[in-house]
Chains A and B, each alone.
Chain A
Amino acid sequence: MSPGVPNGTALEPRPVPFAANPNLRLRVEQASYAYAATDRSAPKFTLGPASFEAQQRELLAILGPNASGKSTLLKLLAGVLKPLSGRIEVDGAEVGDLDMRVRARRIALVQQESELLFPLRVWEYVLQGRYPYGRRLRFESAEDCLLAGNALAQVGADELRDRWMDRLSGGEKQRVILARALAQQPALLLLDEPTQHLDIGGKVELLRRLRRLADENRYAVIVVTHELNLAAEFSDRIVLLHKGKSLKIGTPAEVYERDLLEEVFEAPLEVEMRVSGRPRVILRGNH
């Protein structure tokens, strides 16, 4: 499953490793964005310049309250939006310059899934992740099937293979969507609020799985979330966003300061440092 497997690479220029650090997957340099203003009004929302990096085997959380610019930043990383200024590079190539299919081989995005028009089997859904590697009519090769099978195995969803997508539970569906992203063999795995519809057990299971995938497949995993404690427990580094500005970037212990979090999340909070070195946030009762 390593992203280096040669695989229909004719179209793809060889990834140029970052000179300074060959482990680097993602570099964001002063990237900013503003939603197009209409003729009369000022831009509705602006994302101030952000700079950070992510290496392979690293799990990075983009943390912030609602409307802090998390999704905008994720769309920039995924190449859906083009930054107004600055650069975003994945494996040494600027995201905006990549051909759509080459981009889909390097970046996989897991979103809340949209409603299916016609039912699909889990197996067919996961095989869609092989699309960027196929030729014109994209009949699946034996290799595609093997890789899709591996992806299902990696998320522990082997037994779901022949089930219908619209008959899965929330947690099962989440795993299958993740499997399709793995089938893309990306360098960068992006997840948009992946824990939203899961119960606490499901959330922990998912983040443990992401942690393991980052290690085994040498991904850089980037998770957008507003869950303070999950981010503190599972991420290596955190980008804290507030009103479109990246306020602080660092390890959970560095980012989690009580005053800062209280200001950003507008709630009375308490931060405890645990022996593991990871902070824990609790709601401070003030009644």
Chain B
Amino acid sequence: MGQYHGKMLQRGTRVRPLTPQRIVAICGLLGAVLFVVVVFSLRMGAYPISLRDIVMTLFRGAIGRRDEIPSDFWLVVFGLRLPRIALGILVGGALATAGAGFQALLRNPLADPYVLGLSSGAALGAMLSLMVAPHTAGVIQAGAFVGAVATTATVYFLGRRGGQLDSPTLLLAGIISASFLSAAIMFLGTTLSGRDQRGMAFWLMGDLATPPTVDLKWLYFVLLVTLGSIYTTSSDLNLILTGEQEARHLGVNVHRVKLVVYVAGSLLTGLAVSVGGAIGYVGLLVPHMMRLLFGTDYRLLIPTSAIGGGIIIVLADTLARTVVAPTELPVGAMTALAGAPVFIYLMRRRVR
């Protein structure tokens, strides 16, 4: 944990308590970075479009003067690239926040929806629900949520030793669940072929190429409500991170907080997997980056992780669809390429 001793963004020698103003300022800064990344991502792709045209198109679209936009620009920006970017921000924000939440809930800095097998559980749940009721709206989301909840509970109980959560046991339980569930996904994938156009790579690695069957508005609504409910527990999570017993003595209702984070984290995982598949390591990578930059306080970590997750996924997806053009990589391949080395680094820091 020594890597967090950096003094970044802490001016002066006296540590000041966190204020809402500082949270808003930092989130605004990250929001600006996200905007730049979005514009960059809009620029990249097979159809060439200049930066000026992108900005004009976005501006005219924003003030509702659609008729002034050339139709091919409209199609490229609002029809193709922006929906995919919006989907990426949703998935990244959900996964990164879920990761931050699970790290506190399980008191394990290596916790991540993908590493613990929760994403695979959500994917399996989504596939099963597709088989049962293929044409019902929102059924994939519901199935993914149920899958995530069930897997979290299973991994949690498998990860206990002598009534206590044990870090190596927990990780092993997650890895074993993940490989078991992946095998089940492969099996289902062969029987489901034809009915699910997304294919196996989507559920195993994650991919943002297929637009969701549910309106993005609803998905964003669920995301914001869930983020809000996790955020209400953020100062309790700070105390739980110092020790559950001590948190209880200081008046934290540990059971309630854990239940909120458990349900919200599973919802976020299910939400992300249902539209983006099992994209790995975002939940690990992003919260740790944000801790390095802004410190470990959850009141700041949760919103910065949500925005940072969006930034990382949009970047990764832009790379995924451009580096090997005209074909595409799954976005999960990009995040795994970056995330797995970070995971190993963090694990070795801890073992020492």
Contacts and interface: CB of A to CB of B under 8 A. Distances in A.
Interface stretch (B197-205, B238-246, B337-345): B238-246
A43 interface: no
Contacts of A153: none
Interface residues of A, number: 41
Interface of A: 78, 80, 100-105, 107-109, 111, 113-114, 116-121, 123-125, 127-129, 131-132, 134, 136-140, 144-145, 161-162, 164, 166, 184
Interface residues of B, number: 37
10 contacts: A80-B248, A104-B250, A111-B246, A113-B243, A114-B242, A119-B1, A119-B5, A120-B296, A125-B242, A137-B234
Contact of B251 (A132, A137, A161): A132
Contacts of B244: 114
Interface string B1-21: 110110000000111011110
Given A118-B4, A118-B241, A78 B249 contact: yes
Contacts of B160: none
Contacts of A127: 17
Interface of B: 1-2, 4-5, 13-15, 17-20, 103, 107-109, 231-232, 234-235, 238-239, 241-246, 248-253, 291, 296-297, 299
A114 B245 contact: yes
B241 A134 contact: no
Q: Which 5 A-B pairs have the closest CB atoms?
A: A104-B251, A114-B243, A101-B251, A140-B17, A132-B251
A120 B246 CA distance: 15
Given A101-B251, A139-B19, A118 B246 contact: no
Contact of B235 (A114, A118, A138): A138
Given A111-B246, A164-B5, A117 B109 contact: yes
A interface secondary structure, majority: mixed
B10 to A, nearest CB: 9
B17 A128 contact: no
Nearest to A125: B242
A11 to B, nearest CB: 11
A132 B15 contact: no
A107 to B, nearest CB: 8
A182 to B, nearest CB: 13
Contacts of B14: 161-162
A255 B152 CA distance: 54
Contacts of A136: 232
Contacts of A118: 1, 4, 109, 241, 291, 296
B248 A132 contact: no
Nearest to A122: B15
Contacts of B20: 139
B246 A100 contact: no
